[in-house]
Structure 1
Amino acid sequence: MAVMMQAFYWDAPKLENREHDFWNFIAERVEDLGKAGINALWLPPINKGSSNTSMGYDPYDFFDLGDFDQKGGTKTWYGNRAELEALITKAHANSVGVYADMVINHNSGADEEEVNPLDGEKRWTKFNPASGIFPRDWNSFHPSRFERTMVEGEHFAGFPHLCHRNPSVYKAMFDYARLIIEDLDFDGFRFDFVKGYGSWMISLLSKYQYEKKDMKEFMPYVVCELWSGGDDIDMWLDKANSVTDNQIAAFDFPLRYQLKAVCDQPNYDLRNLTRDGSVVMARPAHAATFVDNHDMGEDIIQNDKLMAYSFIMVHEGYPCIFWFDYYNNGLARPFTPNGINALIEAHHKYAGGDSQILHADPDLYIMQRVGWKDDKTDQPGLVYVLNNLGDKWSGTSVKTKWCNQRMVPIAWDGHGLYGEVAHPDERRTDAEGNCEFPAPPRGYCIYVPIADDANKDEAIAGV
């Protein structure tokens, strides 16, 4: 599986001092991200919001990508269409895909208030966008003649919610999606706040047979934000995928909260990681795993965050790295075995095949990936150790799939280790595959099978 990156965080254009120039800011880093093994970038909403200093989650004009003077200026907070297209072109030149953030539930920044004759309520629902595309009034929103009540979903922030059953709204959403995939050359969608409207709309946008500029049909990657528990996400995915080619995934919020507990709660029982509830354990092919994102606010993981990253990078699912952690928190740590870059390399080179839990107790979790090989892939597998004890190295003997095998540590971190020479020693399994695998205090270690005559340094990820 690939690795994606959320290429922004809340108020990033301002905090990076790149207001109205953020597309160029990302583009400056694309080459390095491609070399590090990032396969796709999730970009923020591309359209003009209720102001030109908006993050885009309050859409006003879906078809103004920073080229019309409205809502305080011409460019969006990120730039204009030409800069966005240049970013996408550069990303593709470096083998990096791009996913568009789709906010199709609610609107903001209307030009006038109107009385909705169906319920007599006054709302900001009159939109006259400068692009001239998709003007709308009260009948484009709930309640509408096409659907008086919201039979599905929740309200968001008091904004008017689009009625997708209105043919003009339905068409506009398809026109917007086709602009993104066919004209701008995006590779997929991330749908925002999907509990706010019917999953059928996402299903139809996902299964449409898009045609790229090379005249070839294209199926986008689709991942959705359903901020809920595992059962709700599972049922929603069943419903959404029932009319598609089964390509719709969801961010794994249940796993994220488990990992936050691992990192921030002393003595958290690691056996909880083996239990049902997460998307990746129930349906790994539909799981987008992550550690933090732009919505977490004060609920971000505060301690030992690399423990969480190590977990998502060795298990199944499509891991997503947060730009703020990678750059601003300095967790990339290139050319060392102690950071995200080393975990990315371990993910790509070794994390193939099924996951098998070899040991789990309150303070120690050991798992193996059994490996995968076909005409395109050769990932020999790995052993992953997560140690919850804060004061000492810890490990235990487990029975692996490898017999009489040299096992080399390639990525690790723990309390007081970064920047130090100390590191775990390589191991060798016995004739039955048994071996003891330790990990640093409040840390992790990844061991991989290496031939006896191979150079150890060449196997160490990130070096």
Structure 2
Amino acid sequence: MNFFAELKNLFLSPFKFKSYPSAFPRMRLGPDDNLDNALMMQFFTWDTKHSEMSWWKHFEAEIPMLAKMGVTQVWLPPPNKASQKEGRGYDAYDLWDLGEFHQKGTVGTRWGTREELLLACSFAKQHGVDILIDAVLNHKLGADEVETFLAVPCNPNNRLKEEGHAREIQGWTKFNYTARAGKYSDFRWNQDHFTGLDWDHKTRTHGIYRITGPGHKGWSKHVDSELGNYDYLLGIDIDFRHPDVREDMLNWGPWVLETTGASGFRLDAIKHTDQRFLLEFLKTARSRTDMPRMFSVAEYWSGDLKRILPWIRAFEGETAFFDVPLHMNFYQASRKRARYDLRTIFNDTIVKIKPNDAVTFVDNHELIITTHQVEGQTLESWVDIHFKIQAYALILLRPGGHPCVFYGDLYPNTECYHEATARNLKLLAEARKLWAYGLCKDYFLEPNCIGFVRTGDARHQGCVVLVSNRTDVRSSDNFVHSLRMNVGPENAGSAYRSYMTQGGRVEVDKDGWGIFTCFPEAVQVWVREADDQVV
């Protein structure tokens, strides 16, 4: 099906609308009594550790500030026991161990103990901040014992193509969980519960091996078609068709939500995970916890909107999706700088086509790991500081989508921190909380400077925003962009002040028009002078 036929199915068919509702209208984006804009935050980077306390204690200490900034949801790192003492949790060993049992050389996880996690989650709830659990369901690592079984090597570039006959290999596939001793779950994993792995311990050989033999059904057919079949990602790949696997996983979802008091999930690596199982997982967690408005967002890493749209439909509004195509537009804009036409920044993005299914973001933890292999290539699409604040302004101050702020852009860290970015990001978050409401009128008139007006609502006055990527001017030229925009007759005769920098003032005429300015390669937000007292 071509792209235009895809859009026709999405927008012109009433049946499609009825069958595939959007995610956000049925989801909780923050506490019900919150009347301000919702905002998600990813509270970790890849290498983050606190020098004086556990990560969960650090999070607990920051909760009052996050709530004041307008954060209504926090996406935490995977809380489960990892295969290594310092593992981030994406190397999932035991989902049922939240830092309670002495496994893999430690009681606590990289992030802290179970008790610290639960205290932080409870404190967040008291401050009106929801918790999202990072669910790593696709694979396991760190098995306790080796097993011998039959497997066939597959072409790494086409997993449907076998490279030889089935042979006897040894794989780390047996998980005993002796220290946990059956608490919470008595399920023990073995080779029957997996589809493939990447290491033959018998010959000490790396490869992609599909497990064969009685009971094995091959790769799942309900995964992405990249590389022929993208069921296998890393570690020991889980077979969600096995009834015991399904039972354990479907029990874990409600358990972890009820244990932590979390309001939903971030789903890791869904293009590799059986689509039908994930849909059942979400529906089961929603029903068993009596959380009809449970939140979920899925990571399907692709900059190609055409590949993502069928997945959005398949999940029937049970999960939102990170807007990777928008992130890739931000990345291209940061590379091309003034050569990028800002009027096209939302082209071919989820937020433009399906705004109520898009979690918008600028960067995340994976994008700063230039040596971390994901899906066969490094994720080297970090948005440069020359365009970072412009990108944040476009997701934080416009309607459509649900924005996610990245810890690495806000807090000092050794991976990606930039002081000016952090300072301006705090200002934009405050502007979102105070003024970014109402209808949006776009003034996308110039390739290097675009503007928009938020009209406000019954509780908020609205604002004017300009975004520039122009670089071909010198500071001695004193050049500023000027856009004539209408703020509505209700603001006729008023004056607006500049918010990102001090000293700017715009007089609005009797018909609501004003000439608003912005420095090159910068963002400017304008608010009514009458709103000074709320800042």
TM-score, reference length from structure 2: 0.75
Distance 1:458 1:118, change over 3 A: same
Distance 1:185 1:405, change over 3 A: farther
Question: Which of 377, 388, 391 lines up with 2:469 in the alignment?
Answer: 388
Structure 2 SS opposite 1:139: helix
Contact 1:23–1:83 (CA under 8 A) maintained in structure 2: yes
How many matched pairs? Answer: 430
Q: Which amino acid aligns with 1:78?
A: W
Q: Which amino acid aligns with 2:66?
A: L
Taking the aligned partners of 1:49 and 1:435, their CA distance within structure 2 comes to: 56
Taking the aligned partners of 2:293 and 2:420, their CA distance within structure 1 comes to: 31
Question: Which of 192, 198, 214 lines up with 1:139 in the alignment?
Answer: 192
Residue aligning to 1:205: 281
Q: Which amino acid aligns with 1:302?
A: D
Instruction: Please give the residue correspondences for 1:68-147 in structure 2 after superposition, counting only pairs within 5 Å.
Output: 68-117=101-150, 119=152, 120=167, 121-130=169-178, 131=180, 132=182, 133=185, 134-142=187-195, 143=211, 145=215, 147=217
Q: Which amino acid aligns with 2:533?
A: E
Contact 1:111–1:128 (CA under 8 A) maintained in structure 2: yes
Deviation of the 1:259 alpha carbon: 1.6
Taking the aligned partners of 2:306 and 2:280, their CA distance within structure 1 comes to: 23
Deviation of the 1:31 alpha carbon: 1.2
Question: Which of 497, 506, 516 lines up with 1:426 in the alignment?
Answer: 506
Structure 1 SS opposite 2:365: coil
Could you list the per-position Cα deviations for residues 425-451 of structure 1 after superposition, in whole angstroms to 9, with x for gaps in the alignment? 2331441x332211122111122456x
Instruction: Please give the residue correspondences for 1:324-363 in structure 2 after superposition, counting only pairs within 5 Å.
Output: 324-328=408-412, 329=417, 339-363=424-448
Taking the aligned partners of 2:324 and 2:338, their CA distance within structure 1 comes to: 22
Structure 1 SS opposite 2:464: strand
Structure 1 SS opposite 2:329: helix
Deviation of the 1:165 alpha carbon: 1.4
Structure 1 SS opposite 2:315: helix
Distance 1:156 1:57, change over 3 A: farther
Question: Which of 167, 172, 190 lines up with 2:243 in the alignment?
Answer: 167
Could you list the per-position Cα deviations for residues 267-297 of structure 1 after superposition, in whole angstroms to 9, with x for gaps in the alignment? 1323453553111111111111111111002
User: Considering only aligned residues, what root-mean-square deviation do their CA atoms show, in Å?
Assistant: 2.5
Could you list the per-position Cα deviations for residues 396-421 of structure 1 after superposition, in whole angstroms to 9, with x for gaps in the alignment? 223454462535245326xxxxxxxx
Residue aligning to 2:307: 232
Taking the aligned partners of 2:420 and 2:256, their CA distance within structure 1 comes to: 30
Residue aligning to 1:302: 384
Q: Which amino acid aligns with 1:17?
A: S
Instruction: Please give the residue correspondences for 1:40-79 in structure 2 after superposition, counting only pairs within 5 Å.
Output: 40-79=73-112
Taking the aligned partners of 1:165 and 1:36, their CA distance within structure 2 comes to: 44
Could you list the per-position Cα deviations for residues 364-394 of structure 1 after superposition, in whole angstroms to 9, with x for gaps in the alignment? 1112234445xxxx34433221112233321
Deviation of the 1:264 alpha carbon: 3.8
Residue aligning to 2:492: 404
Contact 1:367–1:385 (CA under 8 A) maintained in structure 2: yes
Question: Which of 33, 40, 57 lines up with 1:24 in the alignment?
Answer: 57
Taking the aligned partners of 1:3 and 1:196, their CA distance within structure 2 comes to: 28
Taking the aligned partners of 2:327 and 2:172, their CA distance within structure 1 comes to: 36
Contact 2:83–2:92 (CA under 8 A) maintained in structure 1: yes
Contact 1:396–1:436 (CA under 8 A) maintained in structure 2: yes
Deviation of the 1:457 alpha carbon: 2.2
Could you list the per-position Cα deviations for residues 280-323 of structure 1 after superposition, in whole angstroms to 9, with x for gaps in the alignment? 11111111111111100243223232222111101221111111
Structure 1 SS opposite 2:515: strand
Taking the aligned partners of 2:419 and 2:497, their CA distance within structure 1 comes to: 19
For structure 1, the residue ranges without an aligned partner over 5 or more in a row are 414-421
Distance 1:360 1:128, change over 3 A: farther
Structure 2 SS opposite 1:365: strand
Question: Which of 430, 435, 451 lines up with 2:514 in the alignment?
Answer: 435
Taking the aligned partners of 1:369 and 1:147, their CA distance within structure 2 comes to: 54
Q: Which amino acid aligns with 1:314?
A: L
Could you list the per-position Cα deviations for residues 128-186 of structure 1 after superposition, in whole angstroms to 9, with x for gaps in the alignment? 12323331111111157263223124255531211111111111111211112122211
Question: Which of 244, 248, 256 lines up with 2:327 in the alignment?
Answer: 256
Distance 1:211 1:156, change over 3 A: closer
Residue aligning to 2:293: 219
Taking the aligned partners of 1:203 and 1:227, their CA distance within structure 2 comes to: 18
Q: Which amino acid aligns with 1:5?
A: M
Contact 2:194–2:236 (CA under 8 A) maintained in structure 1: yes
Q: Which amino acid aligns with 1:285?
A: N
Question: Which of 397, 401, 406 lines up with 1:317 in the alignment?
Answer: 401
Deviation of the 1:199 alpha carbon: 2.4
Contact 1:396–1:437 (CA under 8 A) maintained in structure 2: yes
Taking the aligned partners of 2:96 and 2:470, their CA distance within structure 1 comes to: 53
Contact 1:264–1:303 (CA under 8 A) maintained in structure 2: no
Structure 1 SS opposite 2:492: coil
Q: Which amino acid aligns with 1:362?
A: P
Could you list the per-position Cα deviations for residues 171-219 of structure 1 after superposition, in whole angstroms to 9, with x for gaps in the alignment? 111121111212221111000111002222222222234455xxx5443
Structure 2 SS opposite 1:149: coil
Deviation of the 1:2 alpha carbon: 0.7
Structure 1 SS opposite 2:102: coil
TM-score, reference length from structure 1: 0.86
Structure 2 SS opposite 1:412: coil
Taking the aligned partners of 1:150 and 1:113, their CA distance within structure 2 comes to: 24
Distance 1:237 1:380, change over 3 A: farther
Distance 1:380 1:239, change over 3 A: farther
Aligned identity (percent) is 27
Contact 2:124–2:130 (CA under 8 A) maintained in structure 1: yes
Structure 1, 219-228 or 393-402: larger mean CA deviation = 393-402
For structure 2, the residue ranges without an aligned partner over 5 or more in a row are 1-36, 153-166, 196-210, 225-229, 371-379, 474-478
Distance 1:347 1:160, change over 3 A: same
Deviation of the 1:123 alpha carbon: 2.8
Contact 2:497–2:528 (CA under 8 A) maintained in structure 1: no
